[in-house]
Amino acid sequence: MARRATAPQVPVGEAAALVALFTTVADRWELSTAERCTLLGDIGRTTLWEWTRGQAPRLLSFDTRERIAHCVGIDVALARFYGVGSPLAVSHLRRPRTAPDGEHAALDVMLGGLPGLAAVRRHVEALGGGALVATLDAARPFGGGA
């Protein structure tokens, strides 16, 4: 009988730190509960509530880790471009024509999934004067598939 392969997981201590970091970014961006759940990979509201109340997951998938890493990268790039704590950074995410396609709001593209998060990250990092994202993409485990 063939064993079913399990997805790689992030250790407990790192999972708690990543969830706390995502919560800080999501608060700064004034994200709704639904937006937070979607950005984290369509997790349930109860799961999100438990995570933000200190009940971090025992294991966090690499997919969720990558989503959080993209959100943090976007936040850092926006802070570099607009200044730390600037309300313009938050409005940048919600304004039309701020996504890489030049038509949609960046947040709308980000809510579309991992490829959208990666595209917006590359876009805002380029606005902020350059990106390390090519290096990070090349170093991504398991071929970096979305």
Mean pLDDT across 128-146? 48
What integer pLDDT is reported at residue 143 of this predicted model?
43
Residue 131 sits at the vertex; the CA angle it makes with 33 and 104, to the nearest 5 degrees, is 45
Average pLDDT over residues 120-131: 80
Looking at residue 40, its pLDDT comes to 95
Which spans in the chain are helix H? 12-28, 33-39, 45-52, 62-82, 87-94, 106-110, 114-127, 133-139
pLDDT tens string 4-19: 555 566 666 788 888 9
- For the chain, domain boundaries: 10-144
pLDDT top residue among 140 and 62: 62
Decide which of 4 and 30 is more confident: 30
Has residue 137 got a pLDDT over 60? no
Q: What is the mean pLDDT of residues 25-44?
A: 95
The C-alpha atoms of residue 81 and residue 88 are separated, in whole angstroms, by: 10
CA-angle at 57, arms to 46 and 64, nearest 5°: 90
State the chain's mean pLDDT as an integer. Answer: 82
Residue 40 C-alpha from the chain's centroid: 7
